[in-house]
Amino acid sequence: MTLSLLVVVVVIVGVLLFVIVVVIVAVVVLVVVVVVLVAVVVVVVVVVVVVVVVVVVVVVVVVVVVVVVVWVFF
C-alpha cells in the first residue's frame, strides 16, 4: 500500500465519518424540534380547554344565580 493510497483511504473514511456525524446531529436536532413543537401544541390545547371549561362554569354559575334571584324576588 503506497502512501498516496493510504492518504486517499484516510480522507475517504474521514469524510464518511463526518457525513455520518452530521446526519446523526441533524436527526437529533429534528427530533428535539418535533418534540418541542408537540409539547407546545399540547400546552396550548390544555390551556384552551381549561379556559373553555372556566368560561362555561362561570356562565352556568351566572345563569343559575340570575334564575335563583329572579325566582326569589319575583
Q: Is residue 48 included in any domain, yes or no?
A: yes
Q: pLDDT value at position 1?
A: 61
Q: Which regions in the chain score pLDDT beneath 70? A: 1
- Distances from the Cα of 71 to the Cαs of 35, 50, 61, 65, in angstroms? 53, 31, 15, 10
Q: Is residue 27 included in any domain, yes or no?
A: no
Q: Is residue 5 included in any domain, yes or no?
A: no
Q: pLDDT value at position 73?
A: 85
Report the distance separating Cα 13 and Cα 24, nearest Å.
16
Q: Domain residues for 60?
A: 43-74
Domain count within the chain: 1
Q: Is residue 29 included in any domain, yes or no?
A: no
